[in-house]
Chains A and B, each alone.
Chain A
Amino acid sequence: MSWFQFATRHRAGIASIVVLVFPHIMPFTALAVNILIYGLYALGFNLVYGYLGLLSFGHAALFGTGAYLCGIAVVHFALPWYLAIAIGVLGGLLMAAMIGVLAIRTRGIYFAMVTMALSQCVYYLFYQAVDWTGGENGLRGINVRAVNILGVKLDFIDPLTRYYVIAAFVIAAFFLLSRILASPFGAVIEAVRENETRAKASGYDVTATRLITFVLSGGFCGLAGALQALHLSIVPIEIMHYDTSGIVVMIALLGGMGTFFGPMIGAAAFLMLENLVAVWTVHWQLIVGAVFMICVLFFPAGIWGTLISRGKR
């Protein structure tokens, strides 16, 4: 068995080890947490974009709904943190189901446009509900000071503890996603991407597969949003903005669409670059833009995608 086959078989385990040592090689812990969260968000997005082959431009609505519902659960209902996360995931699933039912029949550019339009509707819904979401000022006061895990009280303010608690959820999501992709259903997802007519002829319900995948993606994005709300202790309205939908496309492209680690690598590369360059110069957008262009020109399969194709050779 080559190293490549070994790595593919144990992809979730290897990713978990990387996640564990990650905060020690990052410039600061809050950035490491952001990378995890955006990586998870991109992982969920990649399920639809990379594996199902549909470009959604409305994933900010799923990410944002997870964040807002988790925040609202803590701020307005004083629910414990784990229930708040569960509500965030549920919110992501439900929002994806609603957007999915309306958008899933369209294809290609139309799917991108419809998802974007629907996500803008969601943006204004949350923007207008000032009493619940804080509107323009954002939702504040998602203050979780300590988390109880099986009777052990952990200080959630401590940066490393916060990182590892969030990492635990991200690792669980890794294993779950890996399991989904390795299942027969995972094969159907890719079959639909590769040849829709053939998948249909083989007796698979293409529309249902698409919808279920989109809803699952919403669950992962909702989890990412909920973790983001707990991490930053605020939910800004900007989280619902179409910028947030655009960033995740960039991250997936940079890392490598349709690859398992690609979104994580993409999130790490994108956020690290942005954060480090912004400390040196106010013209950070120029440099980040140039790097992105170079990547698209010379690594069209993304950073991880390129490494994988070299590894297979």
Chain B
Amino acid sequence: MKQTRSGSMTRRRLLATVSARAALAVSPFRINLLQAQEANIKIGFPVPLTGPYGTEAQDQVRAAQLAVAQFNDAGGLNGRKAELVVRDDKLNPGEAATRTLELVEKEKVNFVVGSLSAAVQLAINNVTKERGIIFNSISQSDAINEAADFSRFTFHEALNPHLTSGAVGRYAFSKFGKRVAFLTSDYAYGHEMVRGFLEVGKAFNIENLGDIRHPLGTSDFSTLLPRIQALKPDILCISNFGRDQQIVLKQATDFGIKQTTQIIAPLLSHASRVAAGPQAFEGVIGGCSFYWGIEDKFASTKAFNEAFKKMYDGKLPTDYGALGYGGVRTILAAVTNAGSVDTDKVIAAMEALKYDFYKGPQYYRKCDHQSVQSVLVIKSNSKDLRNSSDVFEVIGTDEPNETNLRTCSELGHKA
């Protein structure tokens, strides 16, 4: 009796497992068939929806969806609609490469836009350039401009560390003094930023008091801050990001460093500032690629803000979100101009593009396809906030200028 019972259990369990497997295996195929019939213009969008940059990534998706909706509302490409295929790259280059292979090989995307880390974008770029698919990167990296990683299919809509630290350095070194100390997150992002600051600092004869490194994901800076205070710097340059930045700024405020020293950071993230609150960020100066507040200056920013608010219940776009919009919008504009999704024609149209979609005039430099654009120097707001998104004040702007970038020959591109 017991034997038969356990036998039937096995069979039932086996049946359930097999049918569940079959359902899992079959369903993606069906979705694929349906999509193939419509022949949309497909844009693959791998971003880290889960993990420490999830908030920023979800904002990128929202803004990218807006660009797609606008393109479709305007009639698409002779009626052919665009479609965003979003994938979670989990902030892991291996996962990003796998997902990009899926997007290219199975989803048959026409273009890829996305990424939110230097290593991830280089992984995606390596996959797309081998397969002749245009990739527009929307996160910071210096390496992607260099000849070794660049291909004619590679575009870079985001800023790069050289450009960002250059803008903040030029602003700060001319105003707050020459004695500079560095506190740096010990990985590529931090190293590239410090390299950029030291480069621009040469023109101002800054004195480098020392570079104190901390590991990524440090939760206590109280042993490092007294060392920095002892150096008596005019400027403390903190090159880290996300939660590290929130914690160190909070502790630096408590230690009273701000009374004698101007704190600067290469990048101030909208999301971090909102999360940490006004006190920690008070008086801190940094750079960013976009702030909604420049709508008084540019009609394109105003239009982008309004459209975003309309689509997402009055929410304003953030810095990283805007990049998602820019990255997708430029590709779709190039598709419209080229009148086709043919890769060569779209590349030519991208190179010819002089655009102002959300932050004033921009264009892609011919040699490395880096978007030449303005860098905003911002200061955290703490008083008289107009609304919950009113977190920064723009105190300076590095206008779009190729001379702020590393030269084409410096990057290894042949003339």
Contact = CB atoms under 8 A, between A and B. Distances in A.
Contacts, number: 101
Nearest to B143: A137
Contacts of B98: 30-31, 34, 232
A140 B126 contact: yes
Given A27-B25, A138-B122, A236 B102 contact: no
A135 B188 contact: yes
Interface stretch (A4-12, A183-191, A248-256, A272-280): A272-280
Contacts of A137: 118-119, 122, 141, 143, 188
Interface residues of A, number: 35
Given A233-B126, A278-B88, A138 B93 contact: yes
Contacts of A282: 49-50, 54, 58, 88
Nearest to B102: A28
A29 B24 CA distance: 15
Interface in B1-44: 6, 10, 24-25, 28-29
B119 A138 contact: yes
A182 B123 CA distance: 41
A101 to B, nearest CB: 30
Given A145-B130, A233-B126, A136 B188 contact: yes
Contacts of A276: 24, 28
A29 B107 CA distance: 11
Interface in A254-290: 272, 276, 278-279, 282, 284-285
A239 interface: yes
A159 interface: yes
Contacts of B106: 27-30
A234 interface: yes
A310 interface: yes
Interface string B91-135: 011100110011001100000000000110011011100110000
Contacts of A236: 92-94, 97, 119, 123
Interface in A110-148: 135-138, 140-141, 143, 145
Residue from A30, A145, A284, A310 having most chain B Cβ neighbours under 10 A? A30
Contacts of A135: 188
Residue from A26, A278, A313 having most chain B Cβ neighbours under 10 A? A278
Contacts of B125: 140
Contact of B102 (A30, A145, A233): A30
Interface string A158-198: 01000000000000000000000000000000000000000
B107 to A, nearest CB: 8
A238 B93 contact: yes
A157 interface: yes
A313 B130 CA distance: 52
A43 interface: no
A237 interface: yes
Contacts of A233: 97, 126-127, 130
B402 interface: no
Contacts of B97: 232-234, 236
Nearest to A75: B148
Contacts of A157: 130-131
Nearest to A145: B130
B87 interface: yes
A17 interface: no
B148 to A, nearest CB: 7
A232 B123 contact: yes
Nearest to B142: A137
A25 interface: yes
B149 interface: yes
A135 B93 CA distance: 13
B94 A239 contact: yes
Contacts of B50: 278, 282, 284-285
Contacts of A29: 101, 105-106
A125 B167 CA distance: 34
Given A136-B187, A136-B188, A238 B92 contact: yes
Contacts of A136: 118-119, 187-188
A276 B148 CA distance: 34
A159 B94 contact: no
B102 A310 contact: no
Interface in B146-168: 148-149
27 contacts: A25-B25, A26-B25, A27-B106, A28-B28, A29-B106, A30-B102, A140-B125, A140-B126, A141-B126, A141-B148, A157-B130, A228-B94, A232-B94, A232-B97, A232-B101, A233-B97, A233-B127, A233-B130, A234-B93, A234-B127, A236-B92, A236-B93, A238-B94, A272-B24, A278-B90, A282-B54, A284-B50
When A and B form their complex, which 7 residue pairs have the shortest distance between CB atoms, in order from nearest?
A: A236-B93, A30-B101, A136-B188, A28-B106, A27-B28, A232-B97, A28-B102
Interface of B: 6, 10, 24-25, 28-29, 49-50, 54, 58, 87-88, 90, 92-94, 97-98, 101-102, 105-106, 118-119, 122-123, 125-127, 130-131, 141, 143, 148-149, 187-188
Given A238-B94, A272-B24, A279-B87, 14 more contacts: A30-B102, A30-B105, A30-B106, A136-B188, A138-B123, A140-B123, A143-B126, A232-B97, A232-B127, A233-B127, A236-B93, A236-B94, A282-B58, A282-B88
